[in-house]
A and B are shown apart, each in its own frame.
Chain A
């Protein structure tokens, strides 16, 4: 356990470079250590981690969650220890956990250091935006909760249903999809390469229409015009992120894209779309169906 926690303390900050190596190390450690036998006060950090705990039928072992864990609805009734990258060490200790399952990037590192001091078993779950990453998350969480059989079962289910969803989503001409993270003041914040959005678009049989930059970034109107996406994909959220269809059609640039002209505007709940957890097969299915509807 001590090794595991030491690995955990230096993760944030160089997440990108170390991702692969750490994932391997963690799998090795979690694989070889019975992390916390019968831990029954579990703190889950990260939307996908919480979903996996519930999907394994272990939801009653949770005592708290972070603010990004909003699914399933029962999770919202648990105490919220705050944003996953800005945890307060005493807040985390106050829910008296005997096991912490944290998505990669949880922090700040100082807080993780204090949790190490307090000798609370901490398992870091590596993030990733493909099928393999989901199975890895499930395996690690299941091992940590000491329910490896249930984990293997869930992983197999997810693997099969994801493969089915991906196969049914494949088309002759993959639609070119523009993912819009937010549209504040008419400025378009879109997804480039290496994001969860690009991952899910690819699984659902589309291709990311915006290339040439990493992560989410504000894009120029002209670039959007040149990309001319077949589909516009957004998160289904109330508030400032959402823009309704009328607003998109009225937008000087988005309104002229193929997507707006054919009404191919798709919305999905953010956590379902970008969480890369057990619901991802359903997300892929819903998304590829939506793609095919808009193209048909």
Chain B
């Protein structure tokens, strides 16, 4: 996520404008905000376990109680790490998609990741018990995340193949093909939902609402590197995405390898979103809200937009997670509900205040 200034200043704009200075300040501010939110989130939870008490105990050389240790190191810390990774992945993927499709409504769902991952998860939940017993035992609770990840990837690759003709990927075919594949995946999911029993239906509903409650270190170590790797490509995408704003052929004339850039973008988004959805279920809204908020704040320059999106996405998600796990404690509200109920009205408010600035 530390992708600050990797591309260097754009030679076309040697003088640093006001907007660029603002963008830099925003980047620093967001980094600080993320750090503060992360520390607060470690200290807050349904149980009264206090981070400070535990820290003080450690410094004094005392043993931390088993329960406190479990809460801090096996519940809150992996949950925080997963929240940061998932939030950054969703927000950056959204920003990349909007840049690639030159469409403000684009989100990672457009390349079929969401539909495919959903289908994978549903298949695993409903048909998982048909697998050979030994395999079920070996996969245990990784079955659903793995199926979601491969479902997402398979759909994206299929869509990519469909929309690539003679070495050129048509963004329009991809958009429309994504809708068609989404409908198909929805239909197959429908069949599986029809076959599902009561308990499986409940599991499906909760999966669709998203949650970080299932965070474990294993999930962090599997999804984290994938997401980091995917995000590491974004500094190289930033300039190309800026050029692409002019249109595909102008970008080509500017010397941007458009086709290669499309390949990288699509793979990046599929990897980041696939991993994020696999470990957290369906968390909506972050991929749309975060990039738009930042565009209003610092402008559309992807060199700043992408790293800022990573930081703000991570911050928003861990903030939403704090609400989700404390508001009806000891029970927990699925995080997808929190992001949508808070994000929706807030986003509307921002839109209405900035109506004059927006020309979609």
Contact = CB atoms under 8 A, between A and B. Distances in A.
Contacts of A16: 129
27 contacts: A17-B133, A67-B331, A82-B330, A82-B332, A83-B331, A85-B206, A86-B211, A86-B334, A88-B325, A88-B330, A90-B71, A90-B76, A91-B330, A91-B331, A93-B47, A93-B75, A96-B47, A105-B199, A108-B203, A109-B140, A110-B214, A114-B74, A117-B74, A118-B66, A119-B66, A214-B197, A215-B197
B128 interface: yes
A13 to B, nearest CB: 6
Interface string A31-59: 00000000000000000000000000000
Interface of B: 45-48, 66-67, 70-71, 74-76, 128-129, 133, 136-137, 140-141, 143, 194, 197-199, 202-203, 206, 211, 213-216, 325, 328-332, 334
B177 to A, nearest CB: 32
B327 to A, nearest CB: 11
A83 B140 CA distance: 21
A17 B330 contact: no
Contacts of B215: 110
A95 interface: yes
Contact of A80 (B75, B197, B331): B331
Contact of B46 (A90, A108, A215): A90
Nearest to A112: B141
Contacts of B325: 88, 90-91
Contacts of A82: 328, 330-332
A122 interface: no
Main secondary structure of the interface of B (DSSP, over half): helix
Nearest to A95: B330
A25 to B, nearest CB: 15
Interface string A44-79: 000000000000000000001001000000000001
Nearest to B70: A118
Contacts of B140: 10, 13, 109
A37 B80 CA distance: 36
A86 B48 contact: no
A90 B141 contact: no
A138 to B, nearest CB: 23
Listed residue (A79, A91, A96, A215) with the most chain B CB atoms within 10 angstroms of its CB: A91
Contact of A114 (B70, B129, B133, B136): B70
A113 interface: yes
B128 A93 contact: no
Nearest to A66: B331
Contacts of A293: none
B206 A64 contact: no
